[in-house]
Structures are given as structure tokens and as C-alpha cells.
Structure 1
Amino acid sequence: MELLRGKISWVEQRVAVRALGHLASYEKTFEAVAKYEEEVIKLAMKLACTCLEVVYVNFVGVKNINKRVKYHCDLLTRGIGDSEMEDRKGEEWASQLQCWCLYLLNCFACKERSLSLICKQDFLGKLCGMWGGLVNHSSPAWVGLVRILCYSKDGRKYIAESKEIIENICNLSRSSDDWQYMGIDCLLLLLNDQNTRYKVFEIIALFVIDLVELGSLGDRPNLGETITKALLLDYKQSKVKFRNQTVQKALQDVWNLKVERRKKEKLMSEEKLEEKRVLVCLIKQEANHMFWLGEIEEALAKYTEALDLCPLKSRKERMVLYSNRAQCHLLLRDPDCAISDSTRALCLATPANSHSKSLWRRSQAYDMKGLAKESLMDCIMFINGCIKSGVTKRVKIPYYAARMISKQMDATWLFAAARSKTTGSQARKVKESDGDYECNNDEQQRCEMMRVMMENKDFLSEPLLVKEVNRRKVERARRRSKKAVIARSM
């Protein structure tokens, strides 16, 4: 407990949190930890929220290796290693410290102890950012704690009141993250509880409608059917319950897709279904032609027409149509619709989340919305697909994907928030001291970069869209088509 109170340093706190987590995991030793229950929980929450900034300011952010605490350096690298190795190890240990704090809170949440303390709205808001980066990949971090809370009635009540948590769970459920299934579990638990269903339905419905055709995900078979049942649980009464017209339309679309169309197609002969497939193929060819002529809106309408006709059993064809329509939405600068269609395409893929083009398109759409983590995960999956599909041993990673990875890795770095806060503080000191504040060249460059980025917001939000070459091709095709139309009219 003395170590947890921070009597020495964050390195010792890491040991203390891990030890207390192990003790709290077992029935025989839980009560010994529970004697300090309130203090343990408060300290674990505080440490989880502040540890990254502490480690960055006191160690990782100290670029002069001679000014780092030698005691910490020796612990991290056993005295052998340069600053780069120390940075990597410091990042790893900081991530472990944060994740073990959440694990300690998990031990109390599992027993439904002190939920009112753990579920303070201020902490829940900060919890969403505790995902551990790519360092501590074996820990579900924030979503693991949220799912434990969703297993209890009181926990669901607190989670339902946090709009930020709900939105982050929804984003996770429509991602290629390893913990996607946990996000879906949380949403299903909230939807199936009558006390929380109507508080969160209007937010959740617009996300999970894209997952209704999901097949198996990990060890969860027919997950799309489970989601459909949760959405249509009280569909006949929903016209009274839900006033939002967009939500009403979403429910109607699910009903038409999963109930009405399925019934109609079961009664159709194989010949009739084959006729539909041929017609869909012709419409798709028209849509592709329009797309390459630069008539994006017209192509989008044709892809929609093809989707309305395409039989539900033709999953591969529908996957391609959704993915192509997502590309149209991207070019029309509509990231929400692009994410929706890409997600539907990935749900239809076998296995789920394995269609490379859809992954790349959704990665771009998430980038447009500033959702760096989701964009990064999709881009990594896209590159994995490129590597697996490589015929030769030497696989060339596309330049545009490498750029996206570089951009999002920087944005999702474990210490990104601490770095931003520290840089902003240094910039303020420079301004207040009117140039008297001394900082090294690296700090000056970072301060100047931050100033330029804040003045030019377009630089911050500029997404990495489709390759410039493709865009130029589309523009040239559009100009040629316009000239042809003018020539014919003359």
C-alpha cells in the first residue's frame, strides 16, 4: 500500500499494482485487499489516469539521456542499452502499469463492489482513452472493464449514462480490433436490459444495423442473428418508443432485409433467382462504367439499385457492391456512409474483416473523421492481407498504406496526449517569457510545428484519401465525357 501511495516512484507502483491485482484475483486473499477497498480503488483510478503523463514527463520525454534517473535506466535495461531501448521499455512498463490498474479495478467490479466509485462519469470519460496502444496487446484494457461493468444491473445503468463510453463501444464494434467482440457483447447487454435499452437505443441502432449480416466472429457463431433479435425485440411497439425518424428507418431496413426479403426469396424458384443475379451483374457493370467516367453520384445510385435486387445468398456479390458503394461515398466526402457500407462488406466477407479493399476504404473514412485508432487497425489488417496474398516472398507494401500507418501510429502513440500537453505547456512558457525561456532545438521545432498546425486546421484534418493518380484519372475521364456530350449536342 505504501508503494501504491507513490512513496518512491512509478516503477515501484507498477510492482505494487501487479501484486495487489494477483491478491485480489483469489477468494482467499481478496478480503485482505478489500480491507483497503476505497483507498485502493481511488488510487488505482488516479494512477490509471495520470501514470502516462508522469512516465513521459519524468522519463520518456527527457531526451538528454544524462538527465534521466539512472536508477530507472538500470531497472529498464539492466544498464545496457541506449535511449531508444529505454524509451521502448518505458512505454511497455507504462502500458502495463495502466492496464494492471484497470485489472485491479476489474477484481472489485466482478464482485459488484464499489461500482459507484468506479463508475464516476469523469473517470468513465477518461477510461475510453486507456487502450494501451500496440504495446500491451494481450490486455483488453478499457473495454475489458466496461464489459465487466455491463454484466451487472447497476454497472449497465452507469454505462448507459455515459455518451462518450457508448460512442466508443459503437466504434469498437465496427472495427477490426481484436476486442471487437467485447464491444458487441457490451452493446447486446445494454440492448437486452429494459432499464437501459431505451436510453441507448437511438445511438446504438445506427451503428449495429451494419452488423446484422455478420457471421461467426471468433467463437461466437451467427452473431448477426443475435444482433437482429436484439434490435427487433419490440419492433411492433417501437413506433411509440422511438421518435427519431432515422432510427425508425434503420429498424425498418433491418426488418425488410432480415424478415421480408428472406421470406420472399425462400418462395422464389432457382430460375428466378438466377435471373436476378444476371440483372445485378449488368447493373454493376453500368455502375463501374459510370464510376470511371467520373459520374460518382450516378454510379452510387446504380450500386444501390443492384443491392436492392441482389439475392441474400449471393454474399460475395453483395460484399463487392457494398465495397464499391463505399468508394463512391469516399469520393463524395461522406465518411459516415463509407464506414457503414465498408462495415457491411466486411461482415459479408469470409472470414469476417478479411476483404482488403473494404478495410482500406474504411481506414480512409475513419481517418477523415479523426478516429486514428480505428483507422490504424484497419490499415494494419489491410497490409496483412497484402502480405498473405503476395505470390512472391518479397512483398511491396503500398506507399499510401505506409503513409497512413505512419500518420496514425504517431496519433495513437501511448504518450501522444502527454506529449501534446507538455508541448503546449512549453509553447505557453515561450510566449509568456517573451523569448527568455530556454529550450533545445527539438523543443523549439515542436513548438513551432504546433503553432503552424493550430493556425492551419486543414493541415490537421487533411485525410489520406485515394491515390492522387486515381483522382487525376477520374478528373480526366469526367472532362472527356463532358466534351463528348457537348460534341453530340452540337
Structure 2
Amino acid sequence: MEFQIPEISTNKTGHNLNCSCFFCILSETVPSVRRTKIAKYFKQMPLRNNQEHVLVLSGIWKIAMTKPNDPEFPSLGIFTCMAKLISKGVTDRSWLLRHQNIYIPYYAAHIIGSYTMMKPKFAKKAVKSSVVQPLLELLRGKLKWVEQRAALRAMGHLASHEATFEAIKAYEVEIIEAATNIASTCMNKVYDDFVGLKKTERLKYHRNLLTRGFGGFELENRKAEEWASQLQCWSLFLLHCFACRQRSLRLICKKKFLKDLCGMWGGLSNPSSPSGIGLLKTLCHTQMGRESIASLQEVVESLCHVSRSSDERQHMAIESLMQLLIDPVTRYKVIDTAAPALADLVELRDLKGKYKVGKAIMQVLLHDYHKIKVREFCLNSERSRRRLEELWDMKVERVKREKVMSVQETREKEALSCVLKQEGSERFFAGEIEKAVVKYSEALDLCPLKLRKERIVLHGNRAQCYLLLKDAEGAISDATRALCLSGVARPHSKSLWRRSQAYDMKGLAKESLMDCLAFMNSKGFKIPYYVAGIFNKQMNSTWLFASAQSKWYSKHEEMKEFVMGRNRIDVKNLSQKTRRKMKG
């Protein structure tokens, strides 16, 4: 269904009933007359059955998008009008499929969302105008996913304001169940209903909404990917509004959903959006959320991976792990997993406007170190125990030793460290990788802590050795330490590339891609050829619809096998009947 400008029609009195009438009203110069006519138009619009509604709404949508704080339309009944139009579209299918009315519920929900975005007083008007129930109908999936996206956006704005949260809270169980379901299944839904279809099979009005009637197949796919990401993002934002108020945490903290959150990229282009990691961070500020997350090893491991990656939400993962470690109830459930990852970050200085991040991490990890050392059963992992011992020695004992060290002693240690580094490089180029690791480790033990550049090189070199030894975790650990020493503003590019390779070795495509992108940015326009392979590989693996596509192929393969198997059985039965007839 293409957008078409309808012909002008008139009633018995000769007055225009089409969209030109509304736009003529907007050009009215007398304010009181203009307001009266607009209010009357909004009141009569849901009662009319004219083909111009969609063009009027598209015009109002543009005004709402560009001037969301303008009080004129909200004060004249726009919300009541939009609520009635959505309800009409949901309940009256014959009306919905007439003219171009199928576009109306989407535009109406979008208009509500735009006007309630920043103004609590507009949101209060919307609630009083009974918009919640029609939006909830769209949220339930009474129409399609494009309308769900607009409804989620509007519902999220209403839930974000204290003045209107109570109205949303009245439906919280249904809203939360719907939002968690949409967040978990929206990628499969959009792929099955749009992206995975041929151009001729796609709903025409979806294509028009996505591209405004312009653009080809590729543009439609790009926009569908963007909208699917937003659909997930708004679902998570709505859940965040409840979680930050500690509402319905039992519904949100279901095991399967918490595991799903780890892979949700919703709103990737907007670093301030909640995303899966963002919602986990919000939950980690609640007692029930911390206990639920601490009991899921897979979720804690995912937080550890993000905390050491170049992901925009690295700071969210770090904050989540810190909250789990501060809480005495969850500390010893997660410390075995979290300690090795966070120990690599203790020399991280500034991150996302937060200063001395590494120091805060060190204090949380070591605040009861003596108790942990005595009660060794608290740490079941030998690796965790060793990392905490190394951390204590480096950040406490070694700092004390180097403070009282003379200049001469410092220079001697520096010189000896340099010699060991050279010996390590000789072993490396001779192919004796394990011996090179030993030499680099000895050099790091002697290198004064204040020599950051030298330590960056030593950690980077040892990371390369671990890569060749197929020790992905060792390579990630050393590369992360080198990156923390170099700083976020000017990261050590070789360590980014090495960590990207190590993440690829572990099958962590997203983390590998993030480091690969950061490495490419550090190189400017000169991207080495060997980066292209891993970049393309991870782009395909982390494509928003990669999982949905895989499920689609798997489902169709199973169907194919079922049909083939059924045909074989039919042939077999047929041959048995034939044999019986032949015997008879």
C-alpha cells in the first residue's frame, strides 16, 4: 500500500473534509479561532471515516518529532484523539484495512511517545486521556512489531516520569511479561516477519514505514536492523524503569531472561541506553538482583568478559561486578570468577568520567585479603588465589619496598629488567616461547612500577607468547594490563590486536570485534590486511540477526528432513501394499 494524496471531498455544506482542511486550520492567524478549530478537529477525527487521516497524522507526527515541548496540541485533545484511533485500529479490522488506515496506529502511538518524552505534565495529560490501555493492546501484539516498537517507546516515557509511573504500575505484571518476551524474541520476530522474507513477501506498509517509500532492498534491511535494535532497547528501558524502583524483580530476575540479557545489544548506537549489560547493572543495585545474578555463573562470566573489553559499556560491567563483591552475601559466590578479571584492571585510571577506577577495584578485591588467605576455602580456584596474592604483593608490599628504595637500587633493577627483556626477546625469536615467558615474567617482577611504558611492552610481549602457546586467557590478561597502563585515550594498539585474537580463540565474537574496531581506529585509514579477515568473520558472527537466521535455517532443515522421512515411509508402505497384491 503506497502513500497517495487523496482527492478532495466535501460534505453537504461544501466544507472540505480532507487533510487540506486541517492544514488550513494550522495557517489560521487568529489564535483563539485556531485553537477552537484544532480542538474540534481532534474531537471529530476518530468519528470520521475519511481517507485523509494518515496524511494528517503523518503531518502531526513530524510536528511532534520536531517540537515535542510545544503545548498546543497536548492542550487541545491530541492524546484522547490518538487513544481512540489506536483502539479503533485494534478492534475494527475492516476499518484498519480500508484506505491507508493501517498506518494510523503506528503514527498515533509515535505521537504519544514524542509528546510524553520530556514533559511530565504532558505525560499526566496523556494518562488522564486514557492512552495506557490502547498502548497496552499494541504491546500485547494485537497488530505487528512496528506498532509494538512505537508503543514501547511511549510506554517507556510514561514509566520514566514519577508523575505517571503509578498509572503504568497498575498493569505491571502484564507489561513486564510482555517486555521481557519482546526483548528476548524480537530479533527472531523481525527476521521471520521481514528480514528473512523476499521483497515481494514483505508487508508493503512495513516497507513504507521503514524507508518512507524510498530506497531498495538493502536500505530496508538496514532500517529493519536499526528498528529491531530499538525494539529491544525500548523493552529493556521499560524494564529498567521498574527495576530501578525495585518493582517486580522476581519477574525480571528469571534465570533464562538474565542469561538472555548477556547477549542483548539493544541500543548499541546509543551508549546511554540500558542494553542487556545496563539492565544487569541496575539489577546489581538491588539485593534480589545481586543474589539472582550471583547464582548464575554464565552471567558473571559475561560481565567479566565485557569488563575487560573495548565495549562502550565496559564501565557498566565493572560497576556490576563491584556491587556483587561489595555485598557480603554475594561476594564469596562470585569472587572466584570475578577476581582474575578485575585484578587485570587495577591500573586502570579514568573511565567514562570516573577517576581512579583501578584503585577502587583494588580496594574492593583486597579489603578482606587476610581473611581470604586464612580461610582458603573461600577461594576454590587456584588461579583466583594466585591473582590476589600477586595483586597484594604488587599494590601493597612492592609499593612499600619501592618507596624506601634508593635511586641506585632503582636504576639497577631497571637495568636488570632491561637485560631480562632482551633475553626474553632472544628466546622468542629462537622459537623458545615458554622460556621467553619466564624471562618476561622475571623482567616484570623487577621493573619498577613507575616505569609504565616499559611494563606496557613487557605485558604486550608476554601476551604475544601466550597467543602462540594457545593460552587465550593468559593473552587476554596481559593484553588487558598493557591497555590499562597505556590508558583509554591512547590504547596500546598491539595489545588491542592481540586481545582481539585471544577473544576469537575463545569464541567470544563480540569482544573480539570490539577490540578489532578499536585497533582499526588507532590505525586510522591504514588498516592492515590481516585485520580484514577477523573483522569480517566477527561482523558475520555478531550480526544482529545471526542467531535468528541460524534458527530459521535449522527449523527449515528439520522440516525438510521430516518431509523426506515421511516420503520414505510412504514409499515403504506403498511397496508393502504392492508386494501383498503381487502375492495375492
User: Quick check: 16-25 or 233-242, which moved more?
Assistant: 233-242
Deviation at 1:139, TM superposition (A): 2.5
Query: Aligned equivalents of 1:436 and 1:79: distance in 2?
Result: 44
Residue 51 of structure 1 corresponds to which residue in structure 2? 186
Residue 175 of structure 2 corresponds to which residue in structure 1? 40
Deviation at 1:132, TM superposition (A): 3.0
Residue 21 of structure 1 corresponds to which residue in structure 2? 156
Which one of the candidate residues 371, 378, 382 is aligned to 1:242?
378
Deviation at 1:134, TM superposition (A): 5.0
Residue 162 of structure 1 corresponds to which residue in structure 2? 296
Q: State yes or no: 1:4 paired with 2:4.
A: no
Deviation at 1:436, TM superposition (A): 10
Q: State yes or no: 1:346 paired with 2:346.
A: no
Query: Aligned equivalents of 2:314 and 2:209: distance in 1?
Result: 35
Listed as ranges, the gaps of 5+ residues in structure 2 are: 1-135, 568-584
How far does the alpha carbon of each residue in 1:403-440 deviate from its partner, in whole angstroms, 9 at most, with x for none?
11110010001101000000111222232333999xxx
Q: State yes or no: 1:427 paired with 2:557.
A: yes
Going from structure 1 to structure 2, the CA distance change for 1:226 and 1:352 (only over 3 Å counts) comes to: farther
Query: Aligned equivalents of 2:559 and 2:329: distance in 1?
Result: 50
SS at the partner of 2:247? coil
Number of aligned residue pairs: 429
Deviation at 1:288, TM superposition (A): 1.2
Deviation at 1:396, TM superposition (A): 2.7
Query: Aligned equivalents of 2:220 and 2:566: distance in 1?
Result: 32
Residue 288 of structure 1 corresponds to which residue in structure 2? 425
Deviation at 1:133, TM superposition (A): 7.7
Which one of the candidate residues 325, 333, 348 is aligned to 1:191?
325
Which one of the candidate residues 500, 511, 526 is aligned to 1:374?
511
Q: Which amino acid aligns with 2:564?
A: D
Aligned 8 A contact 1:215 1:352 in 2: no
Query: Aligned equivalents of 1:400 and 1:139: distance in 2?
Result: 33
1:458-469 equivalences in 2 (<5 Å): none
Residue 254 of structure 1 corresponds to which residue in structure 2? 391
How far does the alpha carbon of each residue in 1:25-61 deviate from its partner, in whole angstroms, 9 at most, with x for none?
0011111111101000000001111111010011001
User: Quick check: 216-225 or 371-380, which moved more?
Assistant: 216-225
Residue 402 of structure 2 corresponds to which residue in structure 1? 265
Which one of the candidate residues 242, 264, 268 is aligned to 1:130?
264
Which one of the candidate residues 465, 468, 489 is aligned to 1:331?
468
SS at the partner of 1:2? helix
Going from structure 1 to structure 2, the CA distance change for 1:435 and 1:121 (only over 3 Å counts) comes to: closer
Query: Aligned equivalents of 1:178 and 1:134: distance in 2?
Result: 9
Q: Which amino acid aligns with 1:50?
A: T
Q: State yes or no: 1:417 paired with 2:547.
A: yes
Q: Which amino acid aligns with 2:550?
A: S
Deviation at 1:87, TM superposition (A): 0.2
Larger Rg: 2
User: Quick check: 202-211 or 51-60, which moved more?
Assistant: 202-211
Aligned 8 A contact 1:202 1:247 in 2: yes
Residue 361 of structure 1 corresponds to which residue in structure 2? 498
TM-score by length of 1: 0.85
Residue 208 of structure 2 corresponds to which residue in structure 1? 74
Going from structure 1 to structure 2, the CA distance change for 1:135 and 1:228 (only over 3 Å counts) comes to: closer
Aligned 8 A contact 2:267 2:273 in 1: no
Aligned 8 A contact 1:366 1:372 in 2: yes
Q: State yes or no: 1:322 paired with 2:459.
A: yes
Deviation at 1:201, TM superposition (A): 1.0
Query: Aligned equivalents of 2:560 and 2:354: distance in 1?
Result: 55
Aligned 8 A contact 1:140 1:179 in 2: no
Aligned 8 A contact 1:41 1:118 in 2: yes
Query: Aligned equivalents of 1:138 and 1:77: distance in 2?
Result: 26
Aligned 8 A contact 1:91 1:135 in 2: no
Query: Aligned equivalents of 2:279 and 2:400: distance in 1?
Result: 41
Which one of the candidate residues 281, 305, 319 is aligned to 1:147?
281
Residue 241 of structure 2 corresponds to which residue in structure 1? 107
Q: Which amino acid aligns with 1:242?
A: C
Query: Aligned equivalents of 1:351 and 1:172: distance in 2?
Result: 15
Residue 174 of structure 1 corresponds to which residue in structure 2? 308
Q: Which amino acid aligns with 2:378?
A: F
Going from structure 1 to structure 2, the CA distance change for 1:377 and 1:353 (only over 3 Å counts) comes to: farther
User: Quick check: 286-295 or 241-250, which moved more?
Assistant: 241-250
Aligned 8 A contact 2:236 2:274 in 1: no
Aligned 8 A contact 2:417 2:443 in 1: yes
Q: Which amino acid aligns with 1:215?
A: R
Which one of the candidate residues 229, 252, 262 is aligned to 1:118?
252
User: Quick check: 366-375 or 132-141, which moved more?
Assistant: 132-141
Query: Aligned equivalents of 1:235 and 1:136: distance in 2?
Result: 39
Query: Aligned equivalents of 2:407 and 2:160: distance in 1?
Result: 58
Going from structure 1 to structure 2, the CA distance change for 1:405 and 1:349 (only over 3 Å counts) comes to: same
Residue 437 of structure 2 corresponds to which residue in structure 1? 300
How far does the alpha carbon of each residue in 1:140-185 deviate from its partner, in whole angstroms, 9 at most, with x for none?
4011111111112222111211222111111110111111111111
Aligned 8 A contact 2:347 2:485 in 1: yes
User: Quick check: 257-266 or 126-135, which moved more?
Assistant: 126-135
SS at the partner of 1:277? helix
Q: Which amino acid aligns with 2:193?
A: N
Listed as ranges, the gaps of 5+ residues in structure 1 are: 388-394, 438-490
Identity percentage over the alignment?
55
Q: Which amino acid aligns with 1:402?
A: A
SS at the partner of 2:139? coil
Higher relative contact order (CA 8 A, sep 6+): 1
SS at the partner of 1:262? helix
Query: Aligned equivalents of 1:346 and 1:243: distance in 2?
Result: 27
TM-score by length of 2: 0.72
Deviation at 1:138, TM superposition (A): 4.9
Query: Aligned equivalents of 1:418 and 1:302: distance in 2?
Result: 48
Residue 440 of structure 1 corresponds to which residue in structure 2? none
Deviation at 1:353, TM superposition (A): 6.8
